[in-house]
Amino acid sequence: MKKCRKWIVFLLVMAVMLSGCGNSGQNANENQKTEKQDSSLSNKEQEDSLLEPEGAEEESKKENTDSSSEDENSEEKEVSDSQETIEPESPAVPTLNEQTTVYAREEVVTTSSVNVRTAPSTDSEVYQTVSRRSEFVRTKDDGTWSAVEVEGKEYYIASEFLQLKSEMPDNGYLVVIDAGHQGKGNSEQEPIGPGASETKAKVSSGTSGCVTGLNEYELTLMVSLKLQAELEARGYQVMMVRTDHDVNISNSERAAFANDAGADAFIRVHANGSDQSSENGILTICPTSANPYMGSLYNQCRRLSECVLDAMVNATGANKKYIWETDTMSGINWCTVPVTIVEMGFMTNPEEDQKMAQDGYQNQLAEGMANGLDAYFGN
């Protein structure tokens, strides 16, 4: 009986194929009519063939091959097909699915780094790749692909990577995070503050783990990314000075980035080094009340440094050192927004170095910083 049904399906498919390969949507409808008479397809299968006209045809073909030879190849093909569908497969001339398309002008935000394409298909050209939290105006959404406007033109982003801006948590505060240092230091000089004659290296190479060999610039980015995720989950808007090691951004430029963004707090993530391997613990850095460049921000910087230090010690159980008040830091002196430098621990201390390299401890460090920011803002 089953074999007989398959032959009928096969003949029907052949008949449909011979009747011409015009618009695939029409084919699907024709298919559906004949199959309805045959009444061998369930309602579910009929729905599928309506939504995915080409897939439905392929399904019937597959059934035929399967009946003639149960070889491993066809099974493998099915498996690999299903693994590839991270972004949907699309027809030869990709367009949105008209039957499911919703038209609306709405502000959306990307939930991860994602490709903006020229057509709703993973085979189409990538117009640009945008970072997480990029904003667009969406005009259409068929549930799989969304049309967005870029400079008056229409481009496409997979809908699963978009979220309505109105549904994003937002507590109204913007935090800028600077993952200290970078892949290669830059010894060129820059003034240590606005109008200063004294200069310092644009950005030094930082320290490294005495046991782990981890570079400070690697550790600071690992923890900064965790802090970003934690803060965003708590409703903060976050901007990162860097998300890459291969950058060249001086300390004054990092401050300018936070100033231009209008940060409510600027948190600069570093790790410490010492000649004495026994030295360990967390400290934070702020300007003195007599800072000639930005002393008017002293109270805010001091309180931010206190809140962050206390919360980090609470979260990690690490040794609490102190708040270091100094006017020697270019990345502080150039700030027009409240700033603190966090020295998360000593990479020259064997135990602290190994602890800081661990994922779990890094989470505690990030959580501590986030708690400190919450305390500073009174959240």
Q: Interface residues with Zn ion (CB under 5 A)? A: 180, 206, 270
For the CB of residue 341, give the shortest distance to Zn ion in the complex, in Å: 8
For the CB of residue 199, give the shortest distance to Zn ion in the complex, in Å: 18
CA distance 89 to 46: 20
List % helix, strand, coil for the chain (3-state, nearest 5). 40, 25, 35
Nearest to 304 by CA among 239, 367, 371: 371
Nearest to Zn ion of 180, 281 (CB atom):
180
DSSP β-bridge partners for residue 129: 115
For the CB of residue 233, give the shortest distance to Zn ion in the complex, in Å: 26
**238 touches 232 (CB < 8 A):** yes
For the CB of residue 356, give the shortest distance to Zn ion in the complex, in Å: 13
For the CB of residue 215, give the shortest distance to Zn ion in the complex, in Å: 10
Nearest to Zn ion of 140, 270 (CB atom):
270
CA distance 144 to 121: 10
Q: Burial of 353 by CB count in 10 Å (0-12 exposed, 13-18 middle, 19+ buried)?
A: buried
CA distance 164 to 116: 17
CA-based diameter of the chain, in Å? 94
For the CB of residue 270, give the shortest distance to Zn ion in the complex, in Å: 3
DSSP β-bridge partners for residue 176: 239, 266
Structure tokens at 70: 């149960």
Distances (CA, A) of 162 to 54, 122, 148, 250, 292: 27, 16, 11, 34, 46
CA distance 212 to 353: 7
CA distance 97 to 297: 55
Structure tokens at 123: 């085979």
- H helix runs in the chain, sequence order: 2-18, 24-38, 43-51, 53-68, 72-84, 216-233, 251-261, 298-316, 330-333, 350-356, 359-377
DSSP β-bridge partners for residue 267: 177, 340
For the CB of residue 146, give the shortest distance to Zn ion in the complex, in Å: 42
Nearest to Zn ion of 120, 206 (CB atom):
206
Nearest to 14 by CA among 56, 64, 80, 53: 64
CA distance 178 to 200: 18
Nearest to Zn ion of 180, 338 (CB atom):
180
For the CB of residue 316, give the shortest distance to Zn ion in the complex, in Å: 18
For the CB of residue 238, give the shortest distance to Zn ion in the complex, in Å: 20
For the CB of residue 165, give the shortest distance to Zn ion in the complex, in Å: 35
Nearest to Zn ion of 88, 206 (CB atom):
206
Nearest to Zn ion of 180, 193 (CB atom):
180
Nearest to Zn ion of 180, 372 (CB atom):
180
